[in-house]
Amino acid sequence: MASFKEEINPDNLDVPLPLDRWIPTEGDSTDPFQDRLYKLQYHMFLCDQKFEKWKMYLQRQFEKEQEEILKEFGEKIKELDAPSSPPQKKIKANSLEDEFSRRGV
């Protein structure tokens, strides 16, 4: 049986899912209810495996698209954040009034 750390590692597909413990080792039972239970549990196990694989695939696709978007728009964001020209001196609002008063207007 795999250790807990191995079980929670999503990259290792060889490690059985915790649901393995539910599945009986034998499917040939004289009791039809036991047989049916085995088949249902096995079907549930297969569905869970398929779901986990699909979830990992979608997660990888999401991360891949996210990286592409960050590359594309990250450069544009840097361009906008970078100063385009050196800051210019701000003209004071009072400077025009001072100039008119010096001229005597």
Do residues 19 and 44 lie in contact, with contact meaning Cβ atoms separated by under 8 Å? yes
Which helix (H) or strand (E) segment holds residue 99: the answer is helix 93-103
At 3-36, the pLDDT tens digits run: 444 444 555 555 555 555 555 555 566 888 989 9
Higher per-residue pLDDT: 2 or 71 = 71
- Give mean pLDDT, residues 34-58: 95
The percent of residues in the chain predicted with pLDDT above 70, rounded, is: 51
* pTM for the full predicted model: 0.45
With 0-12 / 13-18 / 19 or more C-beta atoms within 10 angstroms meaning exposed / middle / buried, residue 11 is exposed
**Main-chain phi, psi angles of 34, to 5 degrees:** -65, -40
**Main-chain phi, psi angles of 14, to 5 degrees:** -80, -20
Do residues 35 and 44 lie in contact, with contact meaning Cβ atoms separated by under 8 Å? no
78: confidence class by pLDDT, cuts 50, 70, 90: confident
